[in-house]
Amino acid sequence: MAAGKGSRRGNNEGSAYRYRNGWAGQVSMPDGTRKTVYGTTKEAVLDDIKKIRRALDDGVPVVTTRMTVGEYLEQWVTVVLASRVVAGTLAESTAESYELLVRLHIIPVLGRHELRKLSTAQVRRWMTAKLTEPSAAGLAARRRQEEEKARRATEKEARERAAGADRPQRPGGRTPGPPKRILTPEPKPIRPLSARSVRYLVTILRLALKDAVREELLVRNVAELVQAPRKDDAPVRALGEVDAGRVLAVALVDRLAGLWMVMLALGLRKGRRSGCAGM
């Protein structure tokens, strides 16, 4: 039966209306809030409303929060990961590694985007930048080196001035000329992250967004749709007989000589305890 004039719309029944240079519409959500959609045409808005109503009927979560990626990741590393460490399903060292990399490499680039609007294109651009642009850790190290160099130069200049003031001046002596300019070599370019490091970052982002899907903050994990880099920067080269002999000659005088000999004999490498259980 058609609704008469002045009748109230039922729950989840939306309508489109003029909004600025386009159209807008609202849909009532089960929690009492209203989700607003926008479009350039009335038909586009009505189509989005139908999709939302269909998703609600099918039990698919519809995200209404405007939480940013940065806000979500801050909550993920401080609450979700911490709870898994307490539960014993995640190693504390792994959680600390995730938190450091999230704050250093993911939030500064992707953090400003709205979580539910994060796209595969944005994730792909972030990943490509990490593979091609100077790494944040390299930039920070270069900045610390320059600050330390400037500090030492200032201290050296202060010592030279103090020594010159204490030294007696000879009458008729020559006036010292300007200090000689010493040409310093150009610093080496800062390399981007390795393919292996970027793969690790993509894995962390996938894990975080997977939890967002589990918590019904997202409908899909866009990071799963982005192919992580596979090729490493350089092939792994094993030590030859001559190189192994040189290492052994130095290792024999070290207090850990036995350890080095075992590593050379068995080809051991540094590993870490896996902490991805339950992720």
- pLDDT of res. 251: 73
Give residue 115's pLDDT: 92
Q: Is the pTM of this model over 0.75?
A: no
- Cα distance between residue 95 and residue 77, in whole Å: 8
- Shortest CA distance to 112 belongs to which of 63, 72, 62, 65? 72
Maximum CA extent, the chain = 114
Q: What is the pLDDT of residue 106?
A: 95
pLDDT at 260: 73
pLDDT at 149: 79
Q: Which residues, at least 6 apart from 216, have a Cβ–Cβ distance to it below 8 Å?
A: 61, 63
pLDDT at 276: 43
User: How many angstroms separate the CA atoms of 124 and 223, rounded?
Assistant: 8
Contacts of 278 (CB under 8 A, 6+ apart): 84, 87, 89, 90
What is the per-residue pLDDT for 126? 94
What are the 10-residue block averages of pLDDT along the chain, 279 residues in total?
40 69 84 80 89 81 76 91 92 93 93 92 93 73 77 82 66 57 65 87 95 87 91 60 73 75 67 43
Token pair for residue 30? 């089960």
- Is-contact 81 35, C-beta < 8 A? no
Contact 89, 133 (CB under 8 A): no
